[in-house]
Homo-oligomer: A and B are copies of this chain.
Amino acid sequence: MNRRHRQRDLEERASIEELDALLIGNLTNVRYLCGFTGSSGALALCRGQWAFFTDGRYTKQAEMQVRGASIHIGSGPPTILAAGWIAERGKRNTARVGVEAEYTTLAIIDRIRSELRSLAPRCRYRLVPTTAIVEQLRVRKDASEVAQIRKAVRLASGVFPSLLKSIHSGIAENEVAAELEYLARRAGAERMSFETIVASGPNSALPHARPTRRKIGRGFVVLDYGVILGGYCSDMTRTIWVGRANKRAARLYSAVLEAQLAGIDAVRAGVEAQAVDAAARDVLRKYKLDKYFTHSLGHGVGLEIHEAPRLAKGQTQRLEAGMVVTIEPGVYIPGSGGVRIEDMVLVTENGCKVLTPTPKELIVR
């Protein structure tokens, strides 16, 4: 894990934005930059020096995990401790201190401001909101991250065959979800990466359905789930058919699969995110199903289940090698049923590698 490399990249961004100091309070970003996984911590960068702040509960853990930063234990919110440290290092008349715009609340900024004022009353600090300053680094995964994501993906795919065995006509959606989460835990998952979706029959037409007490009967069952392993998320969807098969259902499924394969085919470094979405959408248009594809094609996955980039209409961000994204077209016929098929892929210079090993032929049970 090359924490030092990540820290250098961020130092460069900070210098481009002419920041004298930078405060990182978003715990996912803190973890990414220094390795700390606890529930309370903050990082500060000030003129090339890195410092990490947490409270007494995490003394031992910080010593074991934190790399590339001095460790400071104190009481109170770690972000405020970090502001105090920056104030003590204030040497100039004015200093530009970067804060994370998407993370820092009005309540926190207020406390940061008074901490700086009270500890360094003669220095005029300017708090500068930064936009996705760490998140834009996290978009391209390094080798250790890809390895960890692969492990999470394999764990989730690994429990799929046993999950399938548990599904039969008459079992409730929430029983299937319980079964799945039990299998994932037993296989070593830290936890699920989002609320598991088990959506049967008409519920399969709701992209964000929660498992209900509905008994599974003849029809589609959408299974959308992921696990967290070593902090990294996986995300996959398979749709199966329960009961006597039916030509119309098979045609619907095969259209979505064709769209999914077209999406995967369109992935390559340099391509605009919206072009990948369009490639899948065009296939569904051919079958007059595009109006039932009501969400975007995919999203980045990493330490968080939803990260940049978004593969959606209007997204002109270009894909880069090292991005990890989902490709998940779906078709939802209101009141009837729906199909979604989702893999995770790693963007490469010339295309992509599909990370999810689970087969995609329609399974009938």
Q: Measuring CB to CB, which residues of chain A are less than 8 angstroms from any residue of chain B?
A: 39, 56-57, 99, 101-107, 109-110, 129, 131, 174-175, 177-179, 181-182, 185-186, 188, 190-191, 195, 207-208, 210, 213, 294-295
Complexed CA–CA distance, A210 and B228 (Å)? 14
Complexed CA–CA distance, A174 and B191 (Å)? 11
Q: For A178, give its contact among B39, B186, B208, B295 (CB under 8 Å).
A: B186
Contact A191 B182 (CB under 8 A): no
Q: Which residues of B contact A179 (CB under 8 A)?
A: 182
7 further A-B pairs in the complex, CB-CB below 8 A; given A57-B294, A178-B186, A188-B213: A101-B106, A101-B107, A102-B107, A105-B106, A174-B186, A178-B185, A181-B185
Q: Which residues of B contact A105 (CB under 8 A)?
A: 101-106
Instruction: Please give me the residue from chain B that is nearest to A211 by CB atom.
Output: B185
Complexed CA–CA distance, A131 and B111 (Å)? 13
Complexed CA–CA distance, A104 and B294 (Å)? 29
Contact B102 A131 (CB under 8 A): no
Q: For A99, give its contact among B39, B102, B106 (CB under 8 Å).
A: B106
Contact B101 A129 (CB under 8 A): no
What are 6 A-B interface contacts by the 8 Å CB criterion?
A57-B294, A99-B106, A101-B106, A102-B107, A105-B105, A179-B182
Complexed CA–CA distance, A89 and B356 (Å)? 51
Instruction: Please give me the residue from chain B that is nearest to A58 by CB atom.
Output: B208
Complexed CA–CA distance, A190 and B178 (Å)? 10
Instruction: Please give me the residue from chain B that is nearest to A56 by CB atom.
Output: B294
Instruction: Please give me the residue from chain B that is nearest to A187 by CB atom.
Output: B178
Q: Which residues of B contact A39 (CB under 8 A)?
A: 208
Q: Which residues of B contact A186 (CB under 8 A)?
A: 174-175, 178
Contact B110 A129 (CB under 8 A): yes
Complexed CA–CA distance, A11 and B155 (Å)? 50
Complexed CA–CA distance, A210 and B61 (Å)? 13
Q: For A208, give its contact among B57, B110, B213 (CB under 8 Å).
A: B57
Q: How far is the CB of A148 from chain B (nearest CB, A)?
A: 17
Complexed CA–CA distance, A195 and B190 (Å)? 9
Q: How far is the CB of A87 from chain B (nearest CB, A)?
A: 20
Q: Which residues of B contact A182 (CB under 8 A)?
A: 178-179, 181-182
Contact B185 A191 (CB under 8 A): no
Complexed CA–CA distance, A207 and B186 (Å)? 23
> Residue among A103, A105, A175, A188 with the most chain B CB within 10 A?
A105
Q: For A191, give its contact among B101, B195, B294 (CB under 8 Å).
A: B195
Q: Which residues of B contact A107 (CB under 8 A)?
A: 101-102, 129, 131
Q: For A188, give its contact among B174, B188, B191 (CB under 8 Å).
A: B174
Instruction: Please give me the residue from chain B that is nearest to A176 by CB atom.
Output: B185
Instruction: Please give me the residue from chain B that is nearest to A102 by CB atom.
Output: B107
Q: Which residues of B contact A195 (CB under 8 A)?
A: 191
